[in-house]
Amino acid sequence: MTAVIYSLRVSLSSLYYGKAGVSTVTAMEVKSLLIALIFPVIAASQALNAVSLDDSPSNECGKSAKLGSGSQIILTTNGKTETGICGFLINRIEKTDTKCPYPGICARIDGSRMGSCKSKVAFTGKYFDKTPDSTQELSCYMKPAGAKFCTQAPALRVEVTESADYIVKQEGEYAFNITVYTQCFDNKEKLIVEYVEDDFQGPDLESAWRTNYILGIIVAACFCCVFLILLIVLKCYYRNKPYAGIKEDR
């Protein structure tokens, strides 16, 4: 970063002042130069916050990172790990001047495709003392994008686990894009790990039961009508049967 800033200063000096110290470029050229130099720096800083939990050469399995206030880390995967398990520990770092009564860490699911029930992602709030850890999981029974898992623990461990028969597969069957960031809470939560749902609503069981009850009554009424029609037809047939009541001559 220091080298880039120094290069920027040298480039601006050489462009603005020639040998005689006279400006030689226009404002538009300076703006283009700033964009060309600053954009790679921004892109590089964003890339540093991306963590791969897979079998790629740049994976961060078994490593850890520090997360300061206002910062975030993006967790991604290609759906395959090297050994069937990949863990990453995120330690929350608070500034001394931070006025937050109950700081915490949240993991927001920006996107997920858990096509296999033989893999899962566990979010565990780590206290490193007598306080028990608590875990929430993301598996094939997933929630839609937007759900988030929060903990007031000083650290959050994210662990990807694959079953033994899934490891031998050549292609990955799951993917996710998870953003981990700090968040300030107003009070101490009863649960160590808070699960905040999105607007997803489950099926209305009472309405479904009422609908099935009404359909059952309609079907039963239809069967009764068919039975009555058959009785009427048979009665009319025997009443109007030819030679009814006439004994056969022997």
Q: Which domain holds residue 124?
A: 50-196
Q: Same domain, yes or no, for 19 and 103? A: no
pLDDT in tens, the chain (250 residues): 444 444 444 444 444 444 444 444 565 555 555 555 544 444 344 445 788 999 999 999 999 999 988 889 999 998 889 899 999 999 998 777 778 888 888 888 888 887 767 888 889 988 888 787 878 887 776 556 777 888 888 999 999 999 888 888 878 888 888 999 998 888 887 454 444 444 445 456 677 788 888 999 999 999 999 999 999 988 888 877 665 555 555 4
Q: Same domain, yes or no, for 88 and 31? A: no
Domain-embedded: residue 60: yes
Q: Same domain, yes or no, for 136 and 57? A: yes
Q: Same domain, yes or no, for 126 and 30? A: no
Q: Same domain, yes or no, for 15 and 100? A: no
Q: Same domain, yes or no, for 192 and 100? A: yes
Reduced DSSP (H G I as helix, E B as strand, rest coil) percent helix, strand, coil of the chain, to 5: 30, 30, 40
Q: Same domain, yes or no, for 171 and 192? A: yes
Q: Is residue 47 within 8 Å of 22, Cβ to Cβ?
A: no
CA distance 31 to 106: 38
Nearest 5 degrees, angle CA 63-CA 65-CA 71? 150
Q: How many structural domains compose the chain? A: 2
Domain-embedded: residue 34: yes
Domain-embedded: residue 240: no
CA distance 125 to 133: 6
Residue type, 134: S
Structure tokens of 177?
């894009």
Q: Same domain, yes or no, for 79 and 56? A: yes
Report phi then psi at 119, rounded to 5: -145, 150
Nearest 5 degrees, angle CA 69-CA 72-CA 75? 150
Domain-embedded: residue 226: no
Q: DSSP strand E in the chain: where?
A: 50-52, 63-68, 72-76, 85-93, 102-114, 119-126, 134-138, 148-151, 155-162, 174-185, 193-196
pTM, two decimals, is 0.57
Q: Same domain, yes or no, for 178 and 78? A: yes
Domain-embedded: residue 64: yes
Domain-embedded: residue 224: no
Question: How far is the CA of 45 from the CAs of 38, 42, 48, 50, 246, in angstroms?
Answer: 11, 5, 5, 9, 106
Q: Same domain, yes or no, for 31 and 137? A: no
Q: Same domain, yes or no, for 191 and 90? A: yes
Q: Residue 118 belongs to a domain with what CATH number?
A: 2.60.120.290
